[in-house]
Copies of this chain bind each other. A is one copy, B any other.
């Protein structure tokens, strides 16, 4: 079954309207719609519009709060805590980064720990918000147990991601957004569907042994063995301990736990002013020089130039701006259902 394609503006308008029809406050709905569509536009389908029906189910079940009362407490010149009041992670996260940027504008750097939040999609959405305002942005979240503990038999930490975005001179911000596992769970699920084996190094079975059988994979291998596992713990300390949220195996699972249960996730955001360290214009020009040099490094395969982090996402965004965002048939059927129930039009790209 071929995908349906929808232009990003059209998809965002539709998602916003469907959220508002479900009683979600406009500013909250805006973050969710923008975050999901931006992520799909950038080619990161695992964390994009695919999640929309799940979020709506979580909303209807009471996991997500459509009308949050954020509680922000500035605790020092550069630090603060934000109560997300159990709303969509996209909204609590955006509010957290907004506060971090405000603190950074005054104090040079701003750090905000967000608690009582939920799944926030792609970490890049928040770091890019800082970069779009000319600051360096960092975003972190924890997640439910899925990463194999080095030396153990089962997962304890999630595939806790790390993300940094930096404004550039003549192109979209530099953006590194990566899970600390080798691959995502979705890639294992895809192999289960196709029946293909998985490469060694992706995951382990319930005895903690490497396996190539996707049906036996029960947890994902961290990058660099103990190193990715150590980074996941570092991120857990920032996102669970500095926020007072549950950690490790105590975290409410996105799918496996009852959907009315609140996730109680924490995030950690940081923004930094470049001009507190070096001349901003020179910084951007040197970053451009660095990126150009890296892209011109001799390639192992001549037809595949060396890339810098974020290049695949920039290429996807350029292509999908033209072609529209691909939407699977099953997701499209759900869209048509929302369209009919709430009388909200959605127009696919004509082919």
Query: CB within 8 Å of B: which residues of A?
Result: 75-81, 106-111, 113, 136, 149-154, 156, 162, 164, 166, 174, 176, 178, 182, 207-209, 223-224, 226-228, 230-231, 233-234, 236-237, 240-244, 247-249, 272-274, 276-278, 282-283, 286-287, 290, 293-294, 297-301, 304-309
Select from chain B the residue with minimum beta-carbon distance to A308. Answer: B233
Contact A224–B233 (Cβ < 8 Å): no
Select from chain B the residue with minimum beta-carbon distance to A163. Answer: B234
- A274 CB contacts on chain B under 8 angstroms: 242
A282 to B244, CA, bound (A): 9
Report 7 cross-chain contacts, Cβ distance below 8 Å, ordered by A residue: A76-B109, A77-B108, A149-B294, A237-B287, A241-B278, A241-B283, A244-B282
- A241 CB contacts on chain B under 8 angstroms: 278, 283, 286-287, 290
Contact A78–B78 (Cβ < 8 Å): yes
- A301 CB contacts on chain B under 8 angstroms: 151
Contact B109–A79 (Cβ < 8 Å): yes
A150 to B176, CA, bound (A): 14
Contact B300–A209 (Cβ < 8 Å): yes
Contact B77–A78 (Cβ < 8 Å): yes
A278 to B238, CA, bound (A): 11
Select from chain B the residue with minimum beta-carbon distance to A305. Answer: B151
Contact B237–A298 (Cβ < 8 Å): no
A106 to B76, CA, bound (A): 8
Smallest Cβ distance from A289 to chain B, in angstroms?
8
Select from chain B the residue with minimum beta-carbon distance to A103. Answer: B78
Smallest Cβ distance from A48 to chain B, in angstroms?
20
- A79 CB contacts on chain B under 8 angstroms: 107-109, 272-273, 276-277
Contact A176–B223 (Cβ < 8 Å): no
Select from chain B the residue with minimum beta-carbon distance to A300. Answer: B208
Contact A207–B300 (Cβ < 8 Å): yes
- A240 CB contacts on chain B under 8 angstroms: 290
Select from chain B the residue with minimum beta-carbon distance to A201. Answer: B201
Select from chain B the residue with minimum beta-carbon distance to A247. Answer: B290
- A306 CB contacts on chain B under 8 angstroms: 149-152
- A277 CB contacts on chain B under 8 angstroms: 75, 79, 81, 113, 242-243
* Most chain B Cβ neighbours within 10 Å, of A109, A110, A309: A109
* Most chain B Cβ neighbours within 10 Å, of A79, A207, A299: A79
Once A209-B300, A244-B278 are accepted as A-B contacts, the answer to whether A75 and B108 lie under 8 Å apart by CB is: yes
- A176 CB contacts on chain B under 8 angstroms: 230-231, 233-234
Contact B111–A272 (Cβ < 8 Å): yes
Contact B108–A108 (Cβ < 8 Å): no
* Most chain B Cβ neighbours within 10 Å, of A226, A228, A231, A249: A231
